[in-house]
Amino acid sequence: MRRKLIAGNWKMNNTPEEARALLAELLPLIKGASCDVAVCPPAVCLETVYKAVSGAISLGAQNMHWEAKGAFTGELSAAMLLAVGAAYVILGHSERREYFGETDETVNRKTRAAIASGLIPIVCVGESKQQRLNGYTNAYVAYQTKIALTGLSAEQVRSIVIAYEPIWAIGTGLVATDEQANETIGVIRAALREAYGGAADDARILYGGSMNAANARGLLNQPEIDGGLIGGASLKAADFAKIITDASNIA
């Protein structure tokens, strides 16, 4: 069975001091959790978080560049993330695509660079409200998935994480129903199986898009959903702990 993963995306929130306070509140609440847990803070907090969690939680970053070094002002390389203890990196989040020009091609380049460096990519895919209304969801997320992973071997695909985040549900309070989320994640897994065979059964696929303490259990109970990429709820220790507990009880 695939082990559940709950990853918190803090986005542009928390100073190092605030990060320490949040983790000090969270860690006692999730002692003994039987699912994997990661937090992805802003770059300024990466080292602080790594030292604060002491291995109890994995560290993730919110973005990286595909090149190892060079004239890329404001960017971070895989080696830099590894140097501060990162194990995961979020790639292709819809906010990066919408506001900062991410494309399917750049997500693929970053994914290949992350895998080559030993980082575990959390590759985000998801459709807009209009695409869902027009019936394009399945074709679109399958396309995004295949393009993001172009050039990877089946063995490499076994270790990746994909996060299905319907754009219309991110930060809006809207949530795909348990059945909608499970069905679309099933489509993503089918796309993986078509391209990579049995490796699709090992790759973890998370649901994002306003998963919170109130709705997590229903989503996490779905057979295709292997965890959650959590936004706002990961900034509240009690709420994030509740999601982790739900995932642990299911795992």
Q: Which residues are catalytic?
A: 93, 165
> How far is Cα 111 from Cα 107, in angstroms, rounded to an integer?
6
Any idea how long the chain is?
251
Closest to 107 (Cα-Cα) out of 163, 37, 168, 185 = 163
Tokens representing 203?
A: 């790759």
DSSP 250: H
Q: Quick one: 213 exposed, middle or buried, by C-beta within 10 A (0-12, 13-18, 19+)? A: middle
> How far is Cα 45 from Cα 28, in angstroms, rounded to an integer?
20
Residue 84: count of CB within 10 angstroms of its CB: 17
